[in-house]
Each structure stands twice: as C-alpha cells, then as structure tokens.
Structure 1
Amino acid sequence: MTSTPLLSVRGLRKSFAKLDILKGIDFDVAAGEKIALIGPSGSGKSTCLRCVNYLEQPTAGEIFLDGARVGVSTAPTARAMSNRQLAPQRAQMGMVFQSFNLWPHLSVRENVAIAARMVQGLSRAEADALAEAMLAKVHMEHKCDAKPEQLSGGQQQRVAIARALAQRPKLMLFDEPTSALDPELVAEVLSVIHELADEGRTMLLVTHEIAFAREVADRIFFLDGGVISEQGPARDILANPNTDRLRSFLRQLAH
C-alpha cells in the first residue's frame, strides 16, 4: 500500500435538521485496501458512504479522492460544485446501492452502457463493448439482451455492480449490497465482490455479513452513535473486540 491515501476523510459531520447522524469522522483508505463499515442501524454507515461521493452534502468536513477535494471547486475560490461538476468525481467512485436501480425499459447491456456513454463520452459501440466486458466480469454476459424484470434479485445486483465497474472507478462503494436479496441469492453477489477484492480494487463496504467482512476486509470500522468507536485489522477486531458495545453487537448478529 502507498503512503498517500487514495481516500481521505477529515472531520466529517452530517446533520438532518436537528438530528446529528455523523459527529466527526476521520479515516484514510490506501489504494487497494478493503474497508468494511459495520454497526447497528442508524449508526451512520450509509450516510458516511453517501457523503463520500456527495450524494449527501456533508454538514462539515473535507473529503479527498486521490489528492483532489471532493465536492468543492478550488478555482478561483472554494465553492460547492454543481451536480454537473460533481459527475466526473462521482464516476471515480462506483456506487452499488441496496436497491438495484436498473432502468426497467432498457436491456442489461444498455443499463451498463448508458453511464459510459453519458459520463465518459464513449460511442455506442465502445460503450456496448465495455458493458459486455464488465458483464462478463460479474458472470452475466449471457443475459446481455434480457430486461431487468427477467432477472433474479441476485442477477440484478450483479448487473448493478457491472454498471458501477463500467465507470472505471478508482474506488468502489457498496451500501449493504445484499440486504434486499433473499438468503439463497446472497452468496452469488458476495462471490462477485470477493473476486473484485482479489483483483486489488479499493473498496468501502457497508455490510452486516460479518463472516464476509472478516474474510475480505483489510480493516473494519465499527460505527456507533455517529462516530467510529473502534477500528482495526478485520480478523483481530472481530476476534478480540475492545469495547462492550462491539461485543454486544457481534453477539446480536450471531443469533
């Protein structure tokens, strides 16, 4: 891992009205590192992820991706970026949501290719070729011409992952990618994410799949009450949690 982080988050805070969700978060992610965010519902995990790529504008704090400030234009004076200005930065952070968010009227190929055409400016032929390559990476190339309604939930999520990959991101963001799936479909999606992790991709992953986090993540951040209350190497922190709060959380998931 390099000494300069790919992602750097400093003093991240997010409030909705009078409710403080994130209360000051600092962390770095090195290139090629896999970080799992775990914690109880309402602890701020998904909000943290959405602030990283400015789907939610932070109340305070700074986020840097590969040395560039996210969401803020620095020339000639610092000011918030518009959604149009943000688009290239967001494209560097491939986001996979809990829900699949596929266009129902488009084919699988078209769902993956559309971002490449709109954000990267590729021709239809170039975008289609890229889409087919990314669909092969998630083992969905045989469904290129299908519509989303013809796919299982696990297949739809794999298409959503291919769509994120088609942006050629520097960082992959996964927001509980298996939470909307039936239990028998979870393994196929986790298997694809595992393969991407083995390629050395940088990942920030919100998950309740603790066994998967232990196997794939380099480090785990335990969010509780809007702060990172505990962090460390994945296997160490799960085997020997330092706080009663994390021990209690892990026991609840085990039942």
Structure 2
Amino acid sequence: MSTPLLRVDDLHKQYGNTQILKGISFDLERRETVAIIGPSGSGKSTCLRCINYLETPSAGHIFLEQELIGEKKLHNKLLRRMNDTELAPQRQEIAMVFQLFYLWPHLTVRDNVAIGPMKVRGMPRAQAYELADAMLDKVQMLHKAASYPEMLSGGQQQRVAIARALAQQPKVILFDEPTSALDPELVGEVLNVIKKLAQEDRSMILVTHEIRFAREVADRVIFMDGGHIIEQGTPQQVIDNPQHERTRAFLGQIGAGAPAAPAAAGGSAA
C-alpha cells in the first residue's frame, strides 16, 4: 500500500474551554481531491488552517510525505513547535486559497503572483514573471496581468489568488470555501478553474458548501459536524447514499438531494 501524501493524525484544536476539533484523522493520497463538507462551525476551516500551521493544533500531528509539519524532533525524542522561520519552507509546500483574496492592492496582478517565488524561493524576477504569466494563463487571467486588484471583479481576484497559490509550486493546495465571498453570478468561473485543476490530478483539499460541485470533482468526501468526522467515502457514498442520520439531515436541509433513510422490509420510510 502506498504512503499517503498528507496524513492528519488525531488532530485537536481548542480555544479556551471550547473544543473545535476533537480528534480528526484522514489521509490525502497523491493526485487526489478531497472535499470537506458540513454545517458552519463544524471545524472545517480550522482543520485546513491547522494543516499548514496558520493555527497551531492543540494536539495531534500533520505529516507531509512522512515529514512532521510544524514540529521538530529533539535528540531526546521529544517534539517542539517550529518557529515561523523553520515553518516557512514547509508552508511553501502547502498552498492555501482563502475565502477572501488577500491580494496586495499596491501590486499589479503579475506582481501579486510573482512576489512569492521571488521572496521565498529567491527566484530571479524574469523567471518569476515567466512563472506568474504561465499560472495566470492557466486561470484565464493573463490579459489582466498589468491591472491592479481594485480593477477586478471578485471572481477575477479569486482566480488571481489561485494563480498565486499555483506559483508556489506546492505539493498540496487547500481551498477554504473559495466561493463564499463571491456574488452568485461569479461563483461558476472560480469553480471551473478548480475543476480543471482537479482534472490535472493535483492534490487538493476543498472545504465547500457547493455540494453538487463536491460531488462532481471530489474523489472522496468527508462530512464533518461538531469537530468530528461523521463519515467519509466516495461522493456517491456520502452525498448520494449517506449512511449516518446526521449526514442525511444536513444534506436534506440544504436541498442537496440526499435520500431518506431506507424503509424497513414491509414498512414505509420514516
């Protein structure tokens, strides 16, 4: 059996007395797209932020290609948290696309995409611009390379943010509800870009409320609620034929077409 690209092992996150994540464990295989769905407040976004240590887990471990993320083994086999300088190379391997776009307003689109490779990888400007243009072309934004963020629609800004993540040349891309801040008519253009990336067999984790999109693009779906993974499996298993009552209730509430619980023999569905 092959070693997973990313492994989340018994992840916990607590703020004061409030537990957000209560022992989350799952793997991401190479070239796999995993969609995480669930109600607001279930811990989906916190899980993503812990994976690349934007949030420090309260307990548990993250492994990328069997390397501990955010922790360093000491000679006595104890672990200590890495500082930001030590974390920087690891974070470069795990790109994140946020709900909001976080583009530098004083930089052009090209510079927003190129600045990461220049600052983090020390890439020469000409090479970084060549990479930025290639990534902008991939998300159909090359024609806006000389524009500034304020001149773009929300959907265009999010596509630039995706190009910026791609320019990191990461091993994993995390999407944290990338369409939630967009007007409805702009959602499709961003989802189309993500769909193309999934078709390229990139390794991605997508937190989304777009259930039908998750069914279409994900290799595997995880349903979270209350800081726990309730069930996971193929889209057909989790979305079309959920086994847990909480999953069925959630999908029914949002009109995702989850079937009712199967009727007992000789009876009717409850």
Q: Which residue of 2 aligns with 1:127?
A: 128
Query: Is 1:59 aligned to residue 58 of structure 2?
Result: yes
Aligned length: 254
1:99-248 pair list within 5 angstroms: 99-248=100-249
Q: Which deviations, in whole Å up to 9, do the C-alpha atoms of 1:114-164 show, x marking residues without a partner?
A: 101111110111111111111011000000000000000000000000000
Q: Which residue of 2 aligns with 1:49?
A: 48
Unaligned runs of at least 5 residues, structure 2 = 257-270
Runs of 4 or more, structure 1, over 3 Å off, are none
Shift of 1:42: 0.4
Secondary structure of residue in 2 paired with 1:181: coil
Shift of 1:66: 1.1
- Say whether the 8 Å CA contact 2:35–2:218 is kept in structure 1: yes
User: Aligned AA for 1:130?
Assistant: L
TM-score by length of 2: 0.92
User: Aligned AA for 2:53?
Assistant: Y
Query: Is 1:90 aligned to residue 97 of structure 2?
Result: no
User: Greater CA radius of gyration, 1 or 2?
Assistant: 2
Alignment partners' CA distance in 1, 2:79 and 2:41? 32
Q: Percent of aligned pairs with the same residue?
A: 61
Shift of 1:74: 2.3
Q: Which residue of 2 aligns with 1:23?
A: 22
Q: Which deviations, in whole Å up to 9, do the C-alpha atoms of 1:163-183 show, x marking residues without a partner?
A: 000000000100000000000
Alignment partners' CA distance in 1, 2:212 and 2:159? 20
Alignment partners' CA distance in 1, 2:237 and 2:73? 40
Secondary structure of residue in 2 paired with 1:254: coil
Shift of 1:243: 1.4
User: Aligned AA for 1:37?
Assistant: I
User: Aligned AA for 1:43?
Assistant: S
Alignment partners' CA distance in 2, 1:127 and 1:88? 18
Secondary structure of residue in 2 paired with 1:51: helix
Q: Which deviations, in whole Å up to 9, do the C-alpha atoms of 1:10-68 show, x marking residues without a partner?
A: 11000001100000011111101110000000000000000000000000001000111
Secondary structure of residue in 1 paired with 2:8: strand
Secondary structure of residue in 2 paired with 1:101: coil
Alignment partners' CA distance in 2, 1:75 and 1:196? 38
User: Aligned AA for 2:198?
Assistant: A
Unaligned runs of at least 5 residues, structure 1 = none
Alignment partners' CA distance in 1, 2:240 and 2:80? 44
Alignment partners' CA distance in 2, 1:85 and 1:109? 28
Secondary structure of residue in 2 paired with 1:188: helix
Shift of 1:78: 2.8
Shift of 1:223: 0.4
CA RMSD of aligned residues (A): 1.0
- Say whether the 8 Å CA contact 2:20–2:43 is kept in structure 1: yes
- Say whether the 8 Å CA contact 2:223–2:238 is kept in structure 1: no
Q: Which deviations, in whole Å up to 9, do the C-alpha atoms of 1:63-117 show, x marking residues without a partner?
A: 0001110001225463211111111111111100000000000000000001011
- Say whether the 8 Å CA contact 2:4–2:30 is kept in structure 1: yes
User: Aligned AA for 2:32?
Assistant: E
User: Aligned AA for 1:113?
Assistant: A
User: Aligned AA for 2:14?
Assistant: S
User: Aligned AA for 1:184?
Assistant: E
Alignment partners' CA distance in 2, 1:95 and 1:137? 17
Alignment partners' CA distance in 2, 1:124 and 1:75? 38
User: Aligned AA for 1:152?
Assistant: S
Query: Is 1:71 aligned to residue 93 of structure 2?
Result: no
